[in-house]
Amino acid sequence: MTLEFLTSPLLSGVTHGFFTRKGGASSGVFAGLNCGQGSSDQAEAVAINRTRAAAAMGVGVEALVNVNQVHSADVVVAETVNPAERPRADGLVTATPGLALAVLAADCQPVLFADTRAGVVGAAHAGWRGALDGVLEATVDAMERLGAARDSISAVIGPSISQAAYEVGPEFRATFLTSDPENARFFVSGTGDRFQFDLSGYGLHRLRAAGVGQAERTGHCTYSDEARFYSYRRSQHRREADYGRLISIIRL
């Protein structure tokens, strides 16, 4: 099966893709293009999947740069590839042609950034914690330090869990309201004392407030479209032992 990846016209000047699960070598609950090296999937299948995704972006797998994602606001600058080193961070930036920045997600927001005039790209993994703590703004700041202009940066949020599928409790909502009372706009009432949280809407707000030139979201829901996407929350609801990870890649 052919690999499938989504692109955005905002990033048309650079090679990029938000990959779906289609076209991979994994099976079982991981069926498809699981690129999660930290999953319990067969290592050989994950390696094949990563190689296929890299090839679709026009590079060898040795050019893929990714981090040990920990739901932080930490960002690293990639200048070379060292597979033995995966720093604990959730954002990557580079001005080095040939390097392909990769982030993994399965409900969290994969966000790709580019300033094509400056020749700087970035990628971020933004779950609710990372987004609240500022990983998106930190990625923009790191791109600026490499020569990007904030108002020339385009940022796109890829497939992530939708508000309709993201039920949270009152303590979760309170955390966001403590940070900024205006965050109430990203919650709607659900069943009983539950709320529905608009994660990608929140991410889009943070990007625009940070002053990037253009920002959008693809609008795909990872939870509701099982044929195309992995979902951590869906796997939890089904009490599955593990789940696949979707890869998103950008390169100059």
**Predicted confidence band at 81 (pLDDT cuts at 50, 70, 90)?**
confident
Q: For residue 82, what pLDDT is reported?
A: 73
Q: Is the pLDDT of residue 31 over 90?
A: yes
Contacts (Cβ under 8 Å, ≥6 apart) of 29? 235, 240, 241, 242, 243, 244
Distance CA 124, CA 215 (A): 14
Q: What's the mean per-residue pLDDT of the chain?
A: 96
Average pLDDT over residues 220-228: 98
Kindly list the domain boundaries of the chain, sorted by start residue. Answer: 15-159+222-251
Tell me phi and psi for residue 217, to 5 degrees. -125, 145
Q: Is the pLDDT of residue 84 over 90?
A: no
Q: For residue 85, what pLDDT is reported?
A: 77
Distance CA 157, CA 201 (A): 10
Q: For residue 83, what pLDDT is reported?
A: 66
Of all residues in the chain, the percent with pLDDT exceeding 90 is 94
CA angle 13–16–18, rounded 5-degree value: 140
Average pLDDT over residues 79-90: 82
Please choose, from the candidates 37, 4, 14, 6, the residue with its C-alpha nearest in 3D space to the C-alpha of residue 159: 6
pLDDT digits (tens, 9 = 90+) for 121-140: 999 999 999 999 999 999 99
Q: For residue 80, what pLDDT is reported?
A: 79
pLDDT digits (tens, 9 = 90+) for 34-64: 999 999 999 999 999 999 999 999 999 999 9
CB of 32 within 8 A of CB of 46?
Answer: no
| Dihedral of the alpha carbons of 2, 7, 13, 15, in degrees to the nearest 10 | -40
Q: What is the CATH number of domain 15-159+222-251?
A: 3.60.140.10
Average pLDDT over residues 99-124: 98
**Predicted confidence band at 109 (pLDDT cuts at 50, 70, 90)?**
very high
Tell me the CA end-to-end span of the chain in Å, nearest whole number. 27
pTM for the predicted model, two decimal places = 0.96
Tell me phi and psi for residue 83, to 5 degrees. -55, -25
58 Rama class: left (phi>0) / alpha (psi -120 to 50) / beta: left
Distance CA 113, CA 242 (A): 29
Q: For residue 28, what pLDDT is reported?
A: 96
Distance CA 202, CA 198 (A): 6
Q: What is the 3-state secondary structure (H, E, C) of 72-96?
A: CCCEEECCCCCCCCCCECCEEEECC
Please choose, from the candidates 157, 205, 161, the residue with its C-alpha nearest in 3D space to the C-alpha of residue 11: 157
**Predicted confidence band at 208 (pLDDT cuts at 50, 70, 90)?**
very high
CB of 245 within 8 A of CB of 35?
Answer: yes
Burial of 196 (0-12, 13-18, 19+ CB in 10 A): middle
Average pLDDT over residues 13-20: 97
Q: What is the DSSP string of 202-224?
A: HHHHHHHHTT-SEEEE---BTTT
